[in-house]
């Protein structure tokens, strides 16, 4: 036999990725999208101060980035009122989830999540041999009580919840999440994905002590800060857990240009406030477009809106495919009944105009199938 001898685990896994990127869709179609509204990116982009900081840092790109991201971690710690030892910076939440699974998951270990929740988490769990146990959504919300009950039942090492949620955009008040943490069974770590919390109403962000060993919170610069391509995420957790990541993380995984941009973005409070207004306005516009076409939307606390197509997953998929044929890129949830929706990210006015133009014909074509 020639070639690498893969592990039994890797041999058992399908060759797949959680999401096919819009660039791949464009290559397959042989044309560019008129509206890129499917990847949960923030089409309004980063702070001008962040852009300037990244441009200034480009001349020093011959250097490796600071392996501890010390300046950025210090600023994040000050922002949250915690110690630097409570903060980990990594290659987006996706990268941090991969590191976390490598830290705690061995083949056969139980992990609990919601059926239809963020699939990249599931991808990492499977990659380290974990066994996923899923609970259904309740009224288009993740179900904290069911998640805790399942974690208790199976002795889960990790239990994952996003607040606000992806892909539905729904959320729980902080008290619900805080009660969930109090109910976490011994030996289980709660993974609280807060990628979208900056868009949510006051009273959504849970009040969790940074030293609480029962939870790890994850944030990103991809959404509210409009820097998805920079790949900067961070985690807040007890110092012992943060320090454990040093055993396995890629110590030079953070580009110094990305570090500089994230630091400037965090410091630009004016742009952050402006961004919340832009995103809220775009969500309202998506709702108007949906209602003009006889559809409804779910209330969203994120930078996307779940548009209820009013039928089943097959019909929503047909709408998505017809939008794709009209050069409008959106995505949809994977699991029923949430897959009756398409998920539309916020974006500049011209892209929402393209969506508004394409949707009536896409719906007509989908209904004619």
Q: Per residue of the chain (369 residues), what is the pLDDT tens digit?
A: 688 988 999 989 888 777 888 999 899 889 999 999 999 999 999 999 999 999 999 999 999 999 999 999 999 999 999 999 999 999 999 999 999 999 999 999 999 999 999 999 999 999 999 999 999 999 999 999 999 999 999 999 999 999 999 999 999 999 999 999 999 999 999 999 999 999 999 999 999 999 999 999 999 999 999 999 999 999 999 999 999 999 999 999 999 999 999 999 999 999 999 999 999 999 999 999 999 999 999 999 999 999 999 999 999 999 999 999 999 999 999 999 999 999 999 999 999 999 999 999 999 999 998
Give the torsion through C-alpha atoms of 59, 63, 67, 68, to 10 deg: -40
Residues 109 and 253 reside in one and the same domain: yes
pTM of the predicted structure, to 2 decimals:
0.95
How many Å apart are CA 67 and CA 252, to the nearest integer? 5
In eight-state DSSP terms, residue 347 is -
11: burial class by Cβ within 10 Å (0-12, 13-18, 19+)? exposed
How many Å apart are CA 31 and CA 55, to the nearest integer? 30
Residue 224 within any structural domain of the chain: yes
How many Å apart are CA 145 and CA 180, to the nearest integer? 7
Residues 53 and 36 reside in one and the same domain: no
Token pair of 69, please?
A: 């991201």
Token pair of 210, please?
A: 């940074």
CATH at 212: 3.40.640.10
CB 138 within 8 A of CB 170: no
Buried b (16+ CB within 10 A) or exposed e, 103-112: bbbeeebbbb
Residues 309 and 233 reside in one and the same domain: no
Range of the domain at 166: 48-268
Residues 86 and 196 reside in one and the same domain: yes
Cα dist. 121→20, 305, 328 in Å? 16, 21, 27
What is the tally of structural domains in the chain? 2
Closest alpha carbon to 162 in 72, 43, 40: 40
Residues 263 and 152 reside in one and the same domain: yes
Residues 257 and 299 reside in one and the same domain: no
Residue 1 within any structural domain of the chain: no
Buried b (16+ CB within 10 A) or exposed e, 52-74: ebbeebeeeeeeebbeebeebbe
Buried b (16+ CB within 10 A) or exposed e, 283-299: bebbbebbeeeebebbe
CATH at 30: 3.90.1150.10
Residues 304 and 238 reside in one and the same domain: no
Cis peptide before 164 (omega within 30 of 0): yes
Residues 71 and 218 reside in one and the same domain: yes
CA–centroid distance for 94 within its chain: 8
């Amino acid at each position: 036999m020639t070639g690498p001898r893969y592990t039994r685990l890797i041999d058992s896994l399908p060759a797949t990725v959680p999401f096919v990127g819009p660039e791949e869709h464009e290559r397959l179609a042989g044309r560019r999208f008129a509206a890129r509204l499917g990847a949960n990116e923030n089409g309004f982009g980063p702070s001008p101060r962040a852009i300037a900081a990244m441009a200034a840092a480009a001349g020093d790109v011959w250097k490796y980035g600071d392996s501890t991201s010390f300046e950025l971690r210090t600023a994040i710690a000050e922002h949250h009122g915690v110690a630097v030892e409570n903060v980990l910076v990594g290659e987006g939440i996706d990268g941090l989830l991969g590191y976390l699974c490598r830290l705690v998951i061995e083949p056969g270990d139980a992990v609990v999540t919601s059926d239809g929740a963020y699939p990249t988490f599931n991808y990492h769990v499977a990659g380290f041999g974990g066994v996923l146990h899923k609970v259904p959504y309740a009224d288009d919300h993740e179900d904290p009580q069911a998640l805790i009950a399942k974690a208790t039942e199976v002795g889960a090492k990790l239990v994952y919840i996003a607040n606000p949620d992806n892909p539905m955009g729904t959320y729980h008040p902080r008290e619900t999440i805080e009660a969930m943490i109090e109910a976490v069974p011994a030996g289980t770590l709660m993974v609280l994905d807060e990628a979208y919390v900056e868009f949510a109403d006051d009273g959504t962000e849970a009040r969790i002590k940074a030293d609480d060993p029962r939870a790890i919170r994850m944030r990103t610069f991809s959404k509210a800060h409009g820097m998805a391509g920079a790949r900067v995420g961070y985690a807040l957790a007890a110092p012992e857990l943060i320090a454990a990541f040093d055993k396995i993380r890629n110590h030079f995984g953070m580009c110094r240009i990305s570090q500089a941009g994230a630091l400037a973005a965090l410091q630009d409070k004016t742009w952050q406030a402006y961004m919340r207004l832009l995103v809220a306005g775009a969500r309202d516009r998506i709702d108007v477009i949906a209602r003009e076409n006889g559809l409804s939307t779910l209330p969203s606390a994120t930078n996307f809106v779940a548009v209820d197509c009013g039928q089943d997953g097959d019909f929503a998929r047909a709408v998505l495919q017809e939008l794709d044929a009209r050069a409008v890129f959106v995505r949809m949830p994977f699991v029923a009944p949430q897959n009756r929706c398409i998920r539309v990210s916020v974006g500049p006015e011209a892209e929402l105009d393209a969506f508004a133009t394409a949707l009536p014909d896409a719906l007509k074509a989908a209904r004619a199938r």
